[in-house]
């Protein structure tokens, strides 16, 4: 059950998170993305090619209920989340690339997500509220645009908004942990391990396949780490928001199970992956001799 | 018409004065005040952090704040004219306030590298005996160890985001304190810079103090700045730069560019640290004088830290060292969207590689003009004239400056002959602080001998062929082999050590240590880690080689030149 207050809070949080995403951008970032279409293509393929397919395989091979399966599918089709930027930063990845992938996947998501959802839902014979999802996605572009304008008007307001946005993305996890888990304790204790496999596997397989794909294309290790995290880390808050605004009452709780569990576990998965990445070879980074400062 | 004595003046642009003559101001405070009156409400300094958070000071604000600091130093801290005040901070809005406040108080500014270890600070403080220290909070934990035995009575503490709007300042403060943990508790009595300014302001209001009174008797010949450079013995030497040196060198540095520099319209990117003489005179003083807006970068590493500054401001000028230009040319974001309003870039500190200059031209469509100078010459001596640079040279002498080469016996050589480069002009320092013998060593009458070996062609273009001293130039910073050797020799497992400079693709030269040790377990990483504890990063040997013995002269002096030749031969062979 999601109360009116929590729904409002959720809306506010996602608004600020998207505002922060917009504030990290300038129009020239889009220009650059288009100038290097292969980068854009890699991002879109891993985000909307691999992730939904991983979701599809999980649904096919795990005996999940209809509600859980819809949760997995929506989660798998989401664009990249802003938390990926934080993890990219700490794993010494390419922060600019991460920000760009997150944003382009969000912008292109408006068109791609409904198409992919409909395709997979038909294949899996699942009922999904298509119009609702499209409306939510379009609505989300409003704060992104406002964020971009804020940045343009005042660099300080932009930087503060950006900072708040990524911090809030982390607080969101705490919000889920505090508001959703206690009320669904019973469900979490009784549900089959398959639910957990799906929630954890989506992120873990996403990161692994993203990394393999990037290495296969001979991307620089720094960029490969970025693509990996970007692929595996989805916009959890967005999935939860879409479900909260689409389904009502107890129904929503079970649809939300996988996105909520995913959002919690992806933090753990990403932290572990970040630790591994940090140890990986960073020698190729452009090193500056000490004399400059 | 070629002037046979100064043939290079033929390469000056039509609007460039051949001789600058008398300084336009008697001292720096007069210059600072006059510029502030002209540009008043325009933006003077903007400090831009990697995430785009920023703070700005206008010319009039800076003038008021530096007045307040001057009054604080004189009335509250009790300093007198001529007292030294050390400043130790990365580029930030506090730097111009501190520097101008000290000068207006009639005191002497001592620039200190903020990354110095406590030992290195102690050496400099011992020599300069500063009565006050203005330091950034991140490095204030070194004060107790650095001032043991020679206390600094007044400590003023500032922070990187000082004078930013409240929100970014708060966020930066919280992140530094709890996330980076870069701000440690300060164990000495101190006052915060904003509080010191408040105290100064209340004195101005109460006692109707005229700041002008502090410096009205200061003349061109009085010391403005003690700029330290390591001595050949590893003991720091403070070059006494006078008000006249600096007032004139700010003019000399930019004169060659003539009308390419528009008063009140330029925006300069300052990624080099202001405590270094190049950025201090050229970026800080000369561009302030032009009424430019100065974009200060506290920490340019990694280079992506510059991205927001390049995106958010219309940069028209920047200065840098070879390393910086080379690094930027390898950054994707810079390649894709280089600054569009750039006119020129100025390079100094170390030789600019022609491949780097060519690549820069290709990316930005503008030239990097190379200059040459030394701490002792405030610093600018030569610059490439716009559009008339010649490969392999460091350009021609700036106006009112003479360059000549001298033989071993100190006699002037004919043009074209190779010898030690000497400089004569209004920018040559008054001498080394409290070191008349060292001063005598480098002066030949009015000529300052640079220690660089080179020659001047018939047109007045200067080429450097070698360095006389053993010093190593790492990315524009001088490293004195003796200092590093002393540190190495103090290691219990090191029997003997010698240090030389070796060519390095990214830093021009790099420090290489040769070590004789009895302890087989000692390795290069351990040596470097040990050096890092005692020396600033750029002095730490990049390469370490273990040997059975070191080449020695008859009297037992280590022959660095043999090590250099040996190293060179091996590089060539392999």
Q: Do B168 and A160 touch (CB under 8 A)?
A: yes
How many residue pairs from chains A and B have C-beta atoms closer than 8 A?
93
- B283 pLDDT band, cuts 50/70/90, is very high
How do beta strands B54-58 and B108-111 pair?
A: unpaired
Distance CA(B453)–CA(B137), nearest Å, equals: 42
Comparing B141-145, B237-241, B356-360, B377-381, which segment has the lowest mean pLDDT? B356-360
Residues 11-70 of A with CB under 8 A from B: 26, 28, 32, 35
Chain A CB contacts of B506 below 8 Å: 287-289
Q: Do B507 and A289 touch (CB under 8 A)?
A: yes
pLDDT digits (tens, 9 = 90+) for A84-105: 888 887 787 777 788 888 888 8
Residues B307, B271: contact at Cβ < 8 Å? no
CA distance B452 to chain A (A): 20
Residues of A in contact with B169 (CB under 8 A): none
Give dist(CA A230, CA A51) in Å, integer.
Answer: 11
Are the beta carbons of B311 and A163 separated by less than 8 Å?
Answer: no
**Averaged pLDDT of chain B:** 90
Say what the pLDDT of residue A291 is.
45
Q: What is the pLDDT of residue B327?
A: 86
Render pLDDT for B216-231 as a digit per residue (tens, 0 to 9). 999 999 999 999 986 4
Q: Search chain B and give the residue with CA nearest A36.
A: B336
Within 8 A by CB and 6+ apart from B141, the residues are B184, B185, B186, B187
B527 by Cβ neighbours in 10 Å (0-12 / 13-18 / 19+) ranks as buried
**Of the candidates A235, A217, A211, A208, the residue with the CA atom closest to the CA atom of residue A103:** A235
Closest Cβ opposite residue B312 in set A35, A155, A286: A155
Taking an 8 Å cut-off on Cβ atoms, the answer to whether B301 and A156 are in contact is no
Distance between A24 CA and the closest CA of chain B, angstroms: 9
- Strand B191-192: give its sheet, edge to edge: B191-192, B154-158, B132-136, B84-88, B108-111, B223-230, B236-242
Contact list in B for residue A26 (CB cut-off 8 A) is 311
- For residue range B309-335, what is the model confidence (pLDDT) as tens digits? 998 999 999 998 887 898 898 887 898
Handedness of CA A41, A43, A45, A48 (dihedral sign): negative
CA distance B39 to chain A (A): 23
A98-113 average pLDDT score: 85
Residues 6+ apart with CB under 8 A from B570: none
How confident is the model at residue B469, as a pLDDT? 67
Chain B residues touching residue A151 (CB < 8 angstroms): 52
Q: Determine contact, residues B345/B360, Cβ cutoff 8 Å.
A: yes
Mean pLDDT to the nearest integer, B227-252? 85
Residue B376 makes CB contacts below 8 A (sequence gap 6+) with B229, B239, B428, B429, B442, B448, B450
Whole-angstrom distance, CA of residue B155 vs CA of residue B135: 7
Chain B residue numbers with beta carbons less than 8 Å from the beta carbon of A154 are none
Chain A CB contacts of B308 below 8 Å: 155, 159
How near does any CA of chain A get to the CA of B306, in Å? 13
**How close does chain A come to B218, measured CA to CA in Å?**
32
Best mutation target among A28, A88, A286, A289 (most B Cβ atoms within 10 Å) is: A289
| Cross-chain residue pair A291–B538, CB shorter than 8 Å | yes
Reported confidence tier of residue B556, pLDDT bands at 50, 70, 90: low
- Determine the Cα–Cα distance for residues A261 and A201; give it in Å rounded to an integer: 11
How does residue B245 score in pLDDT terms, banded at 50, 70 and 90? very high
Q: What is the pLDDT of residues B13-52, one digit of tens each?
A: 888 999 998 899 999 999 999 999 999 999 999 999 988 9
Cis amide bond preceding B302, omega within 30: yes
Contact B331 A26 (CB under 8 A): no
Whether complex ipTM tops 0.90: no
- The reported pTM is 0.83
Verify whether the Cβ–Cβ distance A289 to B538 is below 8 Å: yes
pLDDT band (50, 70, 90) for residue A37: confident
Interface test with A, best of B43, B52, B112, B475 (most A CBs within 10 A): B52
Q: Is A155 on the interface with B (CB under 8 A)?
A: yes
| pLDDT at res. B231 | 46
Percent of chain B past pLDDT 70, that is, above it, reads 97
Q: Which residue of A has its CA nearest to B116?
A: A293
Q: Look at A109 and A201; give whichever has higher pLDDT.
A: A201
* Chain A hits for B333, Cβ within 8 Å: 32, 96
pLDDT surpassing 70 at residue A285: no
Residue A2 confidence (pLDDT): 54
pLDDT at A59 > cutoff 90: yes
pLDDT exceeds cutoff 50 at A119: yes
CA distance B502 to B560: 11
pLDDT at B138 over 50: yes
What pLDDT, on the 0 to 100 scale, is given for residue A290?
46
Q: What is the pLDDT of residue B232?
A: 45
Instruction: Name the minimum distance, in Å, from the CA of B267 to any CA of chain A.
Output: 17
In angstroms, what CA-CA distances link B526 with A54, B120, B486, B501, B530?
Answer: 48, 21, 16, 20, 6
Per-residue pLDDT of A172-231, as tens digits, reads: 878 877 877 887 788 888 888 899 999 999 999 999 999 999 989 888 888 889 999 999
- The SS3 of residue B157 is strand
**Chain B residues close to A285, C-beta within 8 Å:** 302
Question: Between chains, do B333 and A28 touch, taking CB under 8 Å as contact?
Answer: no
Residues of A within 8 A of B536 (CB-CB) are 290
Nearest CA among A161, A184, A176 for reference residue A237: A176
pLDDT, one tens digit per residue, over B411-422 is: 999 999 988 999
CB contact under 8 A, A288 and B323: yes
Q: Is A218 on the interface with B (CB under 8 A)?
A: no
B537 to chain A: closest CA residue: A290
Yes or no, beta carbons of A293 and B536 under 8 Å apart: no
Q: Which tens digits make up the pLDDT trace of A258-274?
A: 998 998 899 889 989 98
Chain B nearest-CA distance from A293, in A, is 6
């Amino acid at each position: 059950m999601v109360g009116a207050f929590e729904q409002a809070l959720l809306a506010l949080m996602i608004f600020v998170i998207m505002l922060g995403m917009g504030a990290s951008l300038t129009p020239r970032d889009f220009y650059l993305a288009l100038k290097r279409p292969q980068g854009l293509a890699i991002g879109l393929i891993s985000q909307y090619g691999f992730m939904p397919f991983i979701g599809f395989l999980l649904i096919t091979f795990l005996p999940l209920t209809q509600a859980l399966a819809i949760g997995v599918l929506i989660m798998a089709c989401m664009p990249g989340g802003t938390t990926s930027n934080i993890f990219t930063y700490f794993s010494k990845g390419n922060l600019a690339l991460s920000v760009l992938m997150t944003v382009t996947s969000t912008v292109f998501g408006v068109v791609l997500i409904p198409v992919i959802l409909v395709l997979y839902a038909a294949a899996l014979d699942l009922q999904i509220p298509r119009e609702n999802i499209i409306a939510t996605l379009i609505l989300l572009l409003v704060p992104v645009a406002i964020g971009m304008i804020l940045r343009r008007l005042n660099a300080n307001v932009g930087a503060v908004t950006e900072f708040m946005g990524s911090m809030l993305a982390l607080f969101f996890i705490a919000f889920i942990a505090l508001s959703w888990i206690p009320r669904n304790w019973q469900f979490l204790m009784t549900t089959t391990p398959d639910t957990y496999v799906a929630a954890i596997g989506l992120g873990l397989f996403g990161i692994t396949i993203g990394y393999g794909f990037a290495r296969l294309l001979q991307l620089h290790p720094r960029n490969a780490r970025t693509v990996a995290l970007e692929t595996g880390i989805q916009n959890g808050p967005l999935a939860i928001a879409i479900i909260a605004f689409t389904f009502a009452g107890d129904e929503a709780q079970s649809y939300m199970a996988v996105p909520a569990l995913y959002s919690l576990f992806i933090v753990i998965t990403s932290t572990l992956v970040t630790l591994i990445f940090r140890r990986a070879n960073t020698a190729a980074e452009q090193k500056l001799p000490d004399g400059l400062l | 018409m070629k002037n046979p004595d100064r043939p290079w003046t033929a390469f000056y642009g039509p609007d460039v004065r051949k001789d600058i003559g008398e300084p336009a101001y008697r001292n720096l405070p007069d210059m600072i005040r006059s510029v502030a009156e002209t540009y008043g409400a325009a933006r003077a300094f903007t400090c831009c952090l990697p995430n785009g958070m920023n703070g700005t000071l206008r010319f009039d604000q800076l003038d008021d704040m530096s007045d307040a600091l001057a009054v604080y130093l004189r009335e509250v801290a009790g300093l007198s004219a001529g007292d030294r005040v050390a400043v130790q901070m990365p580029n930030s809005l506090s730097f111009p306030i501190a520097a101008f406040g000290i000068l207006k108080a009639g005191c002497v500014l001592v620039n200190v590298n903020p990354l110095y270890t406590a030992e290195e600070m102690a050496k400099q403080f011992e020599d300069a005996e500063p009565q006050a220290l203005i330091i950034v909070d991140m490095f204030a934990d070194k004060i107790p160890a650095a001032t043991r035995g020679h206390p600094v009575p007044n400590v003023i503490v500032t922070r990187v985001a000082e004078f930013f709007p409240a929100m970014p300042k708060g966020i930066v403060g919280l992140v530094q304190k709890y996330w980076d943990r870069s701000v440690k508790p300060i164990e000495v009595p101190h006052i915060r810079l904003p509080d010191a300014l408040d105290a100064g302001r209340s004195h101005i209001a109460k006692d109707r103090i005229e700041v002008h009174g502090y410096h009205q008797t200061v003349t061109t010949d009085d010391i403005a700045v003690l700029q330290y450079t390591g001595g050949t013995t590893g003991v720091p030497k403070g070059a006494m730069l006078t008000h006249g040196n600096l007032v004139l060198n700010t003019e000399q540095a930019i004169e060659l560019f003539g009308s390419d520099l528009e008063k009140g319209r330029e925006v300069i990117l300052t990624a080099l640290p202001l405590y270094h003489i190049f950025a201090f005179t050229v970026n800080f003083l000369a561009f302030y004088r032009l009424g430019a807006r100065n974009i200060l970068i506290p920490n340019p590493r990694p280079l992506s830290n510059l991205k927001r500054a390049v995106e958010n401001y219309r940069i028209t000028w920047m200065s840098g060292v070879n390393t910086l230009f080379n690094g930027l040319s390898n950054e994707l974001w810079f390649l894709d969207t280089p600054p569009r309003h750039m006119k020129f870039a100025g390079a100094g500190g170390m030789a600019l590689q022609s491949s780097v200059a060519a690549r820069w031209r290709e990316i930005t469509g503008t030239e990097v003009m190379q200059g040459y100078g030394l701490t002792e010459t405030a610093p600018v001596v030569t610059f490439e004239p716009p559009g008339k640079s010649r490969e392999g040279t460091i350009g021609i002498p700036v106006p009112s400056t003479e360059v000549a080469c001298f033989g071993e016996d100190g006699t002037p050589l004919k043009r074209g002959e190779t010898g030690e480069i000497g400089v004569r002009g209004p920018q040559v320092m008054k001498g080394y602080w409290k070191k008349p013998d060292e001063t005598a060593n480098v002066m030949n009458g009015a000529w300052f001998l640079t220690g660089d070996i080179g020659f001047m062609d018939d047109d007045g273009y200067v080429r450097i062929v070698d360095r006389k001293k053993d010093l190593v130039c790492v990315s524009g910073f001088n490293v004195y082999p003796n200092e590093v050797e002393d540190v190495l020799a103090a290691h219990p497992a090191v029997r003997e050590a010698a240090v030389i400079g070796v060519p390095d693709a990214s830093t021009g030269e790099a420090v290489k240590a040769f070590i004789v040790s009895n302890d087989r377990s000692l390795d290069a990483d351990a040596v470097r880690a040990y050096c890092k504890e005692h020396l600033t990063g750029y002095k730490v040997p990049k390469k370490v080689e273990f040997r059975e013995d070191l080449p020695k002269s008859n009297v037992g002096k280590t022959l660095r030149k043999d090590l250099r030749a040996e190293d060179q031969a091996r590089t060539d062979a392999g």
